[in-house]
Structure 1
């Protein structure tokens, strides 16, 4: 099941998982787009069907998953590709701008995942792949969109823990591609004579291999992770974590906190925005950030 499968990254995933042998349900709010992708897949000799669905509707999401289970007897994978992006600074933000993105990106992802997780838990297996964004690290004019994707990242970590015992894996991708969202950003920047953040974007299909892998048995030991795809670049996005070492004292009053920042914490402040940090194996096989490693701004 691929929501938002009628275009962009979602359509690319539908084509690739069908090529790899899956029965694909192409779900999209635009029925004509979903049908076109499904017809293209079946014309190539693979298996697909189209379903119209507004993922932000709880009952529609439930019917979408139930329909898949009724027809095929199970649901092995869910890709939450459906999403909405609007641009705007904190000062420019309107109630409608905020609500629209959170309804589709956050609630829509949760609704589909909820119903899929029930079915997957009952069958003892399944994989969910959510969509996040580098904007959750901080990109100007994309605060509301980034916040919605940050919520999905938090869902990913939590659901992976909750569903581990049921045999259900939950991961996410941070994809990049020339989609309608790029058009939204370009129009916003052009109207305000602002520089563009990104000038060259890969074809949306460049993300399909990574998402297909996360759905597959080859990734059976991978859960709770976010994989970033930037054209030729493949990387992991680290989880929010408590930076070690942790300072300890009986009481933290104003003076002691200020002193702690002057002596230690100020030197360990992390950059704001899309950045890269190096992680190295520590004793015991765990991965730890090393404070002496200077972050690289990207």
Structure 2
């Protein structure tokens, strides 16, 4: 029996790449999967592949960029499979451009998918999970959330999803709902379009190597694990440190400009760090 036997899960953006790998792996471990992708033909192809392999799947082409679409995805899962045990917020857009050349319409489109899409799907799924008394949400973030060169919109969007993960985990732990995030690195269309990642990542780092982590977080094996961001590159697995206050904490009755300047010249001088993206790199 698979670790997801008897569970029904929704995976957005599952028509190709990482989302497809998550859907196929979850189905292979017993889950009934709603394969969502705005490209309905791709969703149908993945769902058909799952069914042909003896699994249960339903394709869905609704867009996550509106609450009505997000609700329709959740409703399709409940209507077809009778429950919603897991949600993987994977649908996303990415592009690289210097900040001085970014386009407002392109920024808005990315935020609508990456941020609002995750929030809307969560907002639609959480009431169902609360009524059931259980559920697991896996948000897909990125190492870019620490500040990727030529990727401000994408970095900001994934930072927002990480923050939502922490917030939902805090609110929902008492409801029996676990919320975690996965920060994957695998060879996908996004990587192929990124000159920096393309140079440092091997094609052997396939999406299928990340999928077991998502299946684990959807399963009861991860009972009690919530509010975590987990990084997977296929061969490396680690937790991402959560935001926290950094020592030392200096106190004065009031802080004038000169006092702040002195703090940065003295106590803070030894604990200043470069931008996170410059130091958060694993070998390979």
Instruction: Give the alignment's TM-score, normalised by structure 1.
Output: 0.87
Match of 1:198 in 2: 200
Q: What's the CA shift string for 1:2-54, capped at 9, x where partnerless?
A: 00111111111111111111111111111111111111111111221211111
Q: What's the CA shift string for 1:106-150, capped at 9, x where partnerless?
A: 001111111001100111100000011111111211111110111
1:160 has 2:169 as partner: yes
Q: Match of 2:57, SS?
A: strand
Q: 2:226 aligns with which of 223, 228, 234?
A: 223
Q: 2:259 aligns with which of 256, 261, 267?
A: 256
1:93 has 2:102 as partner: yes
Match of 1:212 in 2: 215
Displacement after TM superposition at 1:273 (Å): 3.2
1:122 has 2:131 as partner: yes
Between the two proteins, the alignment pairs up a number of residues equal to: 273
**Structure 1 pair 55–124 and aligned structure 2 pair: CA distance change class (3 A):** same
Gaps of 5+ in 2: 1-9
Runs of 4+ that moved beyond 6 A: none
Q: What's the CA shift string for 1:150-194, capped at 9, x where partnerless?
A: 1101110101111111111111011111111123324xx7xxxxx
Bigger shift: residues 156-165 or 251-260: 251-260
Displacement after TM superposition at 1:275 (Å): 5.9
Match of 2:89 in 1: 80
**Structure 1 pair 123–199 and aligned structure 2 pair: CA distance change class (3 A):** closer
Match of 1:287 in 2: none
Whether contact under 8 Å (1:86, 1:97) holds in the other structure is: no
Q: 1:133 aligns with which of 142, 150, 154?
A: 142
The 1-side partners of 2:199 and 2:276 are apart by 12
1:106 has 2:115 as partner: yes
